[in-house]
Chains A and B, each alone.
Chain A
Amino acid sequence: MTNRRQFIQSVGALAGMAAVPGSVKMAFGASKEPIKVGILHSLSGTMAISETALKNTALMTIDSINAKGGVLGRPIVPVVVDPASNWPLFAEKARQLITQDKVSAVFGCWTSVSRKSVLPVFEELNSLLYYPVQYEGEELSKNVFYTGAAPNQQAIPATEYLMSKEGGSAKKFVLLGTDYVYPRTTNKILRAFLKSKGVSEANIMEEYTPFGHSDYQTIIAKIKKFSAGAKTCVISTINGDSNVPFYKELGNQGIKATDIPVVAFSVAEQELAGIDTKPLVGHLAAWNYFETIKNPQNAAFVKMWKDYVQAKKLKDAPVTDDPMEATWIGIHMWKQAVEKAGSPDVDKVRKAMYGQTFKAPCGFTVKMDETNHHLHKPVFIGEIRADGQFNTVWKTKGPIRAQPWSPYIPGNEGKQKL
């Protein structure tokens, strides 16, 4: 009962504060007018594998917020569109969401190329995109809030771990990726980072494969040749389902994680659900969240997702992973910012986002940076277990600030203050 009373009071107060033209008539009853948000994830095509789970996570988050009274006392109504893994279609759908559906914010995108495709639309129409996936950095738009990791929140700590005694003191590095912008940029940063740590050019091997590559015999033979003589590790930015044949071949060729550990940046619990994980035990992944992290927020989050998958009879695996957590954080932060601003207006929300904090399932209170539009996030390194979950073997003491402009890329020196 008290909840409801508080809720009514706050609605009244906020409605008064908002002072939107016409708010007089919706001072009480009409203030129930819903707030629309867009969900822009591929539900068909190659990326459906990863993005469907994010769409469902977004819907689950919105449901749970609505069940608690919505935002500003108004329900959130999601508008779901399907850009079908087609990059130009992402831009069209984004435009449709903003101009026709008049959404207040959009949650979506996975690949960097889709984000680059919608960026001009968001800047032109001045709307907000919440992007939930780790990426290569080198971007900062006032119309995007990045809730995934920048390279210094994932790639660099993982490499440092492999070089440490705990991680096996690796001396040789294989940078293996799918051939597109994210792996190429990440590897450029890592190469510069490794050089700054005194790793010579001869001890770095860089290889790329096309999207959907499935025959890793030659590459693994090459890695074997390369690995002779010194402790070697593989840093994999292989994206999507090529990971399965890669890990299978690795297992069959008798390379174990104790010999050549592979650390992956695009393999999380959802991806492992489609793989026989027994031969992968001990290989690593670096993320800002694992399902196995123990704290009350995460327990509630995991349970909510499992129940949601069951209740809605979803085809997604009943496991949670990092991009899903980032989606959850993004929507909650947007809600908090709308409440702080007292209105879903883009400019007001943007201002209210700066410095916004949220108790996240990763066990830390994450904060949206005051200036650079990226989250302060903790970093976890996990080893794959036989059941497809991760054992955390290393973590940062607390959240670290993102460096969207990597100091390891020449020309970025002047941008470090951002």
Chain B
Amino acid sequence: MLKFIVGLALCLPLLARAALDPAALAPFAGEDSSAKAEAVTALANAPDPQVDTLFKALSEDSLFYLPDGQVIVFDGERYVDAASGQPLTTEPEAPEAVIVNNVVRGALESAIALRGLAAADPAARLAAADALKERADPSFLPALEAALARESDAQVKDALSRTTALLQLASPDKTVKLAAIERLAASRDRNIREALAPLAEAETDPELKAALKTALDAIDFRLSVASFFANVFSGLSLGSILLLAALGLAITFGLMGIINMAHGEMLMLGAYSTYVVQGLFRDHFPGALDWYPLAALPVAFIVAAGVGALMERTVIRHLYGRPLETLLATWGLSLILIQAVRSIFGPQNVEVANPTWMSGALDVYGVVLPYNRLAIIAFAFFVLAIVWFALNRTRMGLYVRGVMQNRPMADAIGVPTARVDMMAFALGSGIAGLGGVALSQIGNVGPELGQAYIIDSFMVVVLGGVGQLAGTVVAAIGLGEINKFLEPYAGAVLGKIAVLVLIILFIQKRPSGLFALKGRSADA
């Protein structure tokens, strides 16, 4: 039987029109990854459609080989011969999977991209051209030049000309080389800078050397600008996370004066709500899975607000005006919540995946802006708007501010102060729940999630000035920016310490924070 298969495999290439040389596939049946990578690169230029099938199988881990060295593809239903595309007549007994490691995967990605340049869809061509930016084998140059010549889309042309120019740097022709350097001078890529730098050192031709130097200076300037804006962006992103974590606390601690050690657990409940909603979407609406974070928002708000209201009614309301007892009681509540979540969901972190529209990044003039961070910045300001609206434009907000400023007076004119307390605490907790949804998209979701944010949250609220929404915003963004501008020089550990020292010094100077309340209401 085996003989028959081998015989079939040998004679099939003669019969089928589209067929590859089995010798070109031989490395796939071996152990040597670099040989596999070379085989992939060599096949990249072959026009045969069978190569596409082979590449697809390689990238999906569905390429196998038999003990006799025959390379076969599993197409979902059956095994076919990789060289000829003909189905195997007998079910193979123990096909070994072809192992794809990083070396092979890298070669494969650029080879697939090279073939993708022939696609009809400009978006597909652009993706292919972008993939080739990272890695292009010198043997691709003729194919790239041909693709560049027939390309009509400006964006694709731009990406292609860059890759081509990088390969043309090795050209012996001076004019080609000069044009390539000029093309690359417009880049903002550090890798291109590093590719040009050694050339500038070694170049003897004065004209080329001058061109290289101008190119390097231009790239360096762009890089330093990009690096500055990248820092600004990371600071803004960290600031928006601090803001989301602290907004709920700005209500419960800032306005109501409750030292709420269980605030972090409200964030954690929000994150776990996201996890549960994600699970429901996976089971019931797999098609709409990408939109689960939106559905998680109301769920997280209601869960956290409900738990918050319950905590206020059962424990906290008995302790108003006794800060030490409140501190201990809320700390106890936080431990109970952590252990409850641990018993229900287990001590391990749970997996919350980013929806596809939150994965990846936007490249703006060399500054990489990850979508999840952009989404969180926008979301932070959205939540801020909700809080501002709720406190300043609704009757409930008016009551809250009234009760906090002068409780006996509010009581006297008929404001139900006990209910307002509960509502305000629930609102603060619910906002923290919303923050938890955002935090689940950038970090870990585990029972101890809240512990990581509680200190930062208090820091933001205290620094901003207790009771001041604007102060909380400025403090959060400011802390984010300072942290991110210190970190590259001081390192993550020292950076954090430096920020703490700065805050302590600042609080010494201004004990009531950035935006202190002035006038009569300050005494309340």
* Chain A residues within CB distance 8 Å of chain B: 43-44, 46, 48-49, 52, 165-168, 179, 207-210, 212-215, 217-219, 221-222, 224-225, 228-230, 241, 244-245, 248-249, 251-254, 257-259, 261, 270, 273-276, 278-279, 282, 284, 315-317, 383, 385, 391-393
A215 contact set on B, CB distance < 8 A: 234, 238, 241
A-B pairs with beta carbons under 8 Å apart, 12 shown: A49-B349, A209-B492, A215-B241, A224-B190, A229-B197, A241-B349, A252-B354, A254-B368, A259-B106, A274-B446, A276-B352, A393-B99
Evaluate whether A315 and B101 lie within 8 angstroms (CB atoms) in the complex, with A213-B492, A221-B230 already known: no
- Chain B 225-236, CB-CB to A under 8 Å as 1, else 0, gives 001001100100
B444 near A274 with CB under 8 A, answer yes
Q: How far is the CA of A168 from the CA of B33 in the complex (A)?
A: 10
- Chain B 359-370, CB-CB to A under 8 Å as 1, else 0, gives 111000000101
Which partner residue on chain B sits nearest A219 by CB separation? B492
A391 contact set on B, CB distance < 8 A: 99-101
CB distance from B228 to the nearest CB of A (A): 12
3 residue pairs, one from A and one from B, having the closest CB atoms: A315-B346, A229-B194, A274-B349
Q: How far is the CA of A282 from the CA of B109 in the complex (A)?
A: 13
* Cβ-neighbour of B442 out of A166, A214, A317 (below 8 A): A214
B102 near A218 with CB under 8 A, answer no
A44 contact set on B, CB distance < 8 A: 339, 342, 347
* Cβ-neighbour of A208 out of B99, B353, B493 (below 8 A): B493
Which partner residue on chain B sits nearest A245 by CB separation? B443
Residue B379 CB within 8 A of the other chain? no
A317 contact set on B, CB distance < 8 A: 348
B203 contact set on A, CB distance < 8 A: none
A276 near B492 with CB under 8 A, answer no
| A-B contacts besides A48-B342, A221-B227, A273-B348, 11 pairs, CB < 8 Å | A214-B442, A214-B443, A214-B444, A215-B238, A215-B241, A217-B484, A241-B444, A245-B442, A253-B368, A257-B102, A258-B134
B488 contact set on A, CB distance < 8 A: 218, 221-222
Which partner residue on chain B sits nearest A85 by CB separation? B448
* Cβ-neighbour of A248 out of B102, B354, B492 (below 8 A): B354
A228 near B491 with CB under 8 A, answer no
Q: How far is the CA of A44 from the CA of B336 in the complex (A)?
A: 13
B34 near A244 with CB under 8 A, answer no
Which partner residue on chain A sits nearest B448 by CB separation? A46
A46 contact set on B, CB distance < 8 A: 448
* Cβ-neighbour of B361 out of A214, A225, A253, A261 (below 8 A): A253
CB distance from B510 to the nearest CB of A (A): 27
Q: How far is the CA of A351 from the CA of B452 in the complex (A)?
A: 46
Residue B151 CB within 8 A of the other chain? no
| Best-buried of A52, A215, A245, A257 by chain B (most CB within 10 Å) | A215
CB distance from A114 to the nearest CB of B (A): 17
A230 contact set on B, CB distance < 8 A: 194
Residue B164 CB within 8 A of the other chain? no
Evaluate whether A258 and B349 lie within 8 angstroms (CB atoms) in the complex, with A218-B488, A224-B190, A228-B190 already known: no
Q: How far is the CA of A184 from the CA of B366 in the complex (A)?
A: 34
A274 near B492 with CB under 8 A, answer no
Residue B153 CB within 8 A of the other chain? no
Which partner residue on chain B sits nearest A277 by CB separation? B351
Q: How far is the CA of A276 from the CA of B275 in the complex (A)?
A: 12
A315 near B444 with CB under 8 A, answer no
B190 near A218 with CB under 8 A, answer no
A279 near B348 with CB under 8 A, answer no
Q: How far is the CA of A165 from the CA of B101 in the complex (A)?
A: 12
Q: How far is the CA of A249 from the CA of B371 in the complex (A)?
A: 11
CB distance from B388 to the nearest CB of A (A): 26
B191 contact set on A, CB distance < 8 A: 228-229
Evaluate whether A168 and B237 lie within 8 angstroms (CB atoms) in the complex, with A46-B448, A49-B446, A241-B349 already known: no
CB distance from A398 to the nearest CB of B (A): 17
CB distance from B453 to the nearest CB of A (A): 9
A166 contact set on B, CB distance < 8 A: 32-34, 101, 103
CB contact list, B189-204 vs A, under 8 A: 190-191, 193-195, 197
Evaluate whether A261 and B102 lie within 8 angstroms (CB atoms) in the complex, with A52-B347, A245-B444, A274-B444 already known: yes
* Cβ-neighbour of A258 out of B105, B237, B241, B353 (below 8 A): B105
A252 near B370 with CB under 8 A, answer yes
A208 contact set on B, CB distance < 8 A: 491-493
B157 contact set on A, CB distance < 8 A: none
CB distance from B482 to the nearest CB of A (A): 13
A209 contact set on B, CB distance < 8 A: 492-493
CB contact list, B360-408 vs A, under 8 A: 360-361, 368, 370-373
* Cβ-neighbour of B443 out of A49, A244, A383 (below 8 A): A244
Q: How far is the CA of A207 from the CA of B487 in the complex (A)?
A: 11
Residue B345 CB within 8 A of the other chain? yes
CB distance from A303 to the nearest CB of B (A): 20
Which partner residue on chain B sits nearest A169 by CB separation? B103
CB distance from B28 to the nearest CB of A (A): 15
Residue B350 CB within 8 A of the other chain? yes
- Chain B 44-87, CB-CB to A under 8 Å as 1, else 0, gives 00000000000000000100000000000000000000000000
Q: How far is the CA of A270 from the CA of B351 in the complex (A)?
A: 12
Q: How far is the CA of A252 from the CA of B442 in the complex (A)?
A: 10
A254 contact set on B, CB distance < 8 A: 360-361, 368
Q: How far is the CA of A52 from the CA of B446 in the complex (A)?
A: 14
Q: How far is the CA of A43 from the CA of B347 in the complex (A)?
A: 8
* Cβ-neighbour of A49 out of B105, B347, B452 (below 8 A): B347
B496 contact set on A, CB distance < 8 A: 210
Q: How far is the CA of A385 from the CA of B101 in the complex (A)?
A: 10
Evaluate whether A253 and B370 lie within 8 angstroms (CB atoms) in the complex, with A44-B342, A241-B446 already known: yes
Q: How far is the CA of A278 from the CA of B241 in the complex (A)?
A: 24
